[in-house]
Structure 1
Amino acid sequence: MIAPRRFLPSVSSLLALEAVERLGTATAAAEELALTHSAVSRQLKALEEQIGVPLFRREGKGLALTPVGADYAASIRDYLQDLARASLRIRAAGSRSSLTLSVLPAFGTHWLLPRLQGFAQLHPEITVNLATRLSPFDFTREKFDAAIHFGGRDWQGVKYLPLAREQVIPAASPKLVPQGQITPERLLTLPLLHLESRPGAWEDWFARHGCEAEHLRGMLFDQFSQMAEAAALGFGVALLPRFLAEAEFRSGRLHPLSDSHTEVDGRYFVVWPQFRNASKPLQKFLHWLGSEAEPT
C-alpha cells in the first residue's frame, strides 16, 4: 500500500534537498539542476513545510542542513537512484519485457554472455540486463530477478538451478615460466596469486595432486579478471576456471602449467527468490538456461 500523498514529497523537492546536501550550497545545487537559486529555495521551503520538521538553518546568507535534514537527504538518495534505475530499465526495454540478473563478472563474461545471444534470438521480446555482485545479497532489498551464485546451496531463501562445475588449472605468463607444464613441487617455488572468494583453493589443488602445501601466501584479488591480468603481467601463477583459462590460452597471454583441468568443490547456480513466483520472462529464461547447463 502506498502512503498517503501528504507524506510523499515531489521528486523535484527531493532532488533539491539531495543536491544541497551533496554539494554543500543551494547555489551549487541550482547550477547542477539548471534552476535559479530562488527556485531551489522554494523547493526546500515547500519540502520543509510538508515534512513539518526543520531541515535547514540559516548561516549568514546561506543555508545549512540540520542533522535531521542531512539524515533525510542520505535516506532519499537510494530512493532517487532506484527511481532512476527503474526508469532506465523501462526506457531501455521499450515495449519488451525485461529481466535483471546479478552475475559474477568472469562467469558472466566468459560463460553466460557467449550463450546469451541464443536466448535473445529465441525470445526477442525479453531484454536481459546484467549487473555485477560478488556475494549473496537480500532479494527483498536488491532489485534483481535472479542471480548467478558459486559454491554450495548456502544462499538462504532461494531456489537453485545448477549450471556448471568448477574446473581449474594453474596458468602463468610465458615470461615467468617459459617451459610451460611443470611439477606441483616446482610450482610451489613460484609466487602464487589468490582470490578472496576461493580461500584455500591452492592448498586444495596441491592436495589433489599429492603435494602437501599449507599457509600459502601471495597477492590477493577480488575478481578472476584482475588476477588473470596480474598473471599475464608476470606477477605470479593464477588458478583459473576453465571458461576464463581457455580464453587466456587462446590469446597467448598465459599458458597452462598442468596437463589438465582439475574439478574442485563448488558449482555455479542460477538462484531466484522463493518468496515470489517467477515471472513469465524469468520462467522462459530459466527453461532456456537449464538447456545450456552441464549434465548433473
Structure 2
Amino acid sequence: MINFHEFMHGMNVLRIRRYLPNLSLLLAFDGVMRHGSVTAAAQELGLTQSTVSRLIQTLEEQMGQKLFVRHRRRLVPTDGAARYHQDISAALDLIQRGGMSLIANPEGGSLDLAVLPTFGTRWLAPRLPGFMARHPGILVNLTTRFQPVAFNSEPFDAAIIFRHDAAPDAHSLKLFDESLTACASPAFLATHPIRDPGDLAGLVLLHLQTRPDAWADWFRGQGTGTAPSGGMVMDQFSMMIQAAISGVGLALLPDYLARQEIAERHLLPVLETAVPGQGGYHLVWPGTRAESRPLIHFRDWLAQEVTTIEDPR
C-alpha cells in the first residue's frame, strides 16, 4: 500500500492552487470551527459577520464541498469539515511556529525536538548551554512526549526516545544504555535496613509505567531471579523520586538520575548499583530531515557529549 505522505515527499509535485486556499479563507474557517460562532470568529479576526460568512462560502466553492449546514442562523460543521479542520489547524500552527522562529532566530534556524520529560529536564537541559555556546544561532525548541513521534504528521525534526521504537525508516544515534540503581531515603533505610535482596520483601517498590520489567532486571543483577510482586506504579521518574524522598518506598532509577540524588544525599543506594537494564536512549530523526543543518550540528554535539559520560559500572 502506498503511503500518501511518503508519496508526496518523494515526488516533485506541482502545488495545485485549488487545494491551497487563500490564508484569509483558512483563518475564517479556523475561527468559526474553534469558536463555533461566526460572530466570535469575526470579533477575533477584526472583520464583520457578513465578511466571515462570505469567506466561508468562498472556501466551500473553491473546495467543492459543503463545510457547514445553516441551521437557525448558525453554521453547523459537517463531518468532512471536522476532519479538514484537524489538518488546517496543524498547518496554521506550523506556519505560525515557522514565522516565530524566523523572527526570533533569522540566521541560525531552529530544531524542534520531542524529548522524554525527566530525561529532558535532568539530563539534556543542564547540557544545552554548552550547545548554545557552540552554536549561538540555533534555537532548540523542546516538547515533552511519552509516546513515539509520528514524523510524517507531527512537526518535529527529531526525538529522544527510550528503546528504538521509532518508525522503521527513521535514522538513529544511540546515546547510552540504561543502568538501574535502587534508592531510598535515609529515614526509610534507617527503619528498614537492607542487607540482601530478601530484605525487600514486604516493602513498597515504586514502578515506572513504561518499565514493567525493571525490578526483575534489578533482582537478576543482585544474583536472584525472584522479584516481589506488587508496589506502586507511576508515569514519571520525577514523581517516583519525590515519593522515595518522602519515604513512600524504594525507587528504581536510571543511574544518571540516581547519581544526582545520591550526591545531594536525598536518597541512598541499595545493594549492587548500576545494574544493566533492557534498553537505552536514542536520538531519532526522519530521512526527510537528514540534511537539516541545525539537526546535524545537534546530533554531532550530542554524539560528542555522550562520550564524556562515565561508565557507571
Say whether residues 1:242 and 2:255 are aligned partners: yes
Q: CA RMSD in A?
A: 2.7
1:196 aligns with 2:209: yes
Is 1:262 paired with 2:313?
Answer: no
Q: CA deviation at 1:134?
A: 2.3
Q: Cα gap change, 1:43/1:230 in structure 2, threshold over 3 Å: closer, same or farther?
A: farther
The equivalent of 1:123 in structure 2 is 135
The SS at the match of 1:178 is helix
How many angstroms does 1:190 deviate by? 1.2
Please tell me the residue identity of whatever aligns with 1:117. P
- Evaluate the alpha carbon distance shift between residue 101 and residue 60 of structure 1 in structure 2; reply closer, same or farther with a 3 A threshold: closer
**Equivalent residue for 1:103, pick from 99, 109, 115:** 115
Which of 86, 108, 111 does residue 74 from structure 1 map onto? Answer: 86
CA offsets 1:15-70 (integer angstroms, 9 cap, x no match): 22223223222223233434332232222122222222222222223222233333
1:163 and 1:292 in contact (8 A); partners too: no
Amino acid in the other structure paired with 2:280: R
Is the 1:170–1:238 contact (alpha carbons within 8 Å) kept by the matching residues of 2?
Answer: yes
Q: What residue identity is the alignment partner of 1:19?
A: G
CA contact (8 A) 1:171 1:257 kept: yes
The equivalent position to 1:279 in structure 2, one of 277, 287, 292, is 292
Distance in 1 (CA, whole Å) between partners of 2:141 and 2:259 is 26
2:234 pairs with 1:212: no
Amino acid across the alignment from 1:12:
S
The answer for the alignment partner of 2:153 in structure 1 is 141
CA–CA distance in structure 1, aligned partners of residues 177 and 192 of structure 2: 25
Deviation at 1:252, TM superposition (A): 4.5
Structure 1 residues 119-161: Cα deviation after superposition (integer angstroms, max 9, x where no partner): 2112212222222222433333333332223225875223332
Residues 22, 192 of structure 1: alpha-carbon distance in 2 compared, 3 angstrom cutoff: same
C-alpha separation in 2, matches of 1:166 and 1:262: 9
Q: 1:170 aligns with which of 182, 189, 193?
A: 182
Report the secondary structure of 1:199's partner residue: coil
TM-score, with normalisation over the residues of structure 1?
A: 0.86
Q: 1:160 is matched with which residue?
A: 172
Structure 1: distance between partners of 2:252 and 2:20: 52
| 2:199 paired with 1:186 | yes
Q: Which among 36, 40, 50 is matched to residue 38 of structure 1?
A: 50
SS in 2 for 1:160: strand
Task: Please name the residue that 2:5 is paired with.
Answer: none
AA partner of residue 133 (structure 1): R
The answer to whether the Cα contact below 8 Å between 1:162 and 1:293 also exists between their aligned partners in 2 is: no
SS of alignment partner, residue 307 of structure 2: coil
Amino acid at match of 2:67: L
Determine what percentage of the aligned residue pairs are the same residue: 43
> Among residues 237, 250, 258, which one is paired with 1:224 in the alignment?
237
2:114 is paired with a residue whose SS is: strand
Q: Does 1:9 align with 2:21?
A: yes
Which residue matches 2:126?
Answer: 114
Deviation by residue 1:184-210 (Cα, 9 ceiling, x = unmatched): 222232111211221210111112112
> What 5-or-longer segments of structure 1 have no aligned partner?
none
Aligned match of 2:76: 64
Write the distance in 2 (CA, Å) between the matches of 1:62 and 1:160. Answer: 50
Instruction: Give the TM-score, by structure 2 length.
Output: 0.82
Distance in structure 2 (CA, Å) of the matches to 1:153 and 1:294: 23
Q: Which amino acid aligns with 2:238?
A: S
Most deviating of 158-167 and 245-254: 245-254
Contact 1:203 1:214 in 2 (8 A): yes
CA distance in 2, matches of 1:86, 1:180: 55
Cα separation, 1, equivalents of 2:271 and 2:299? 35
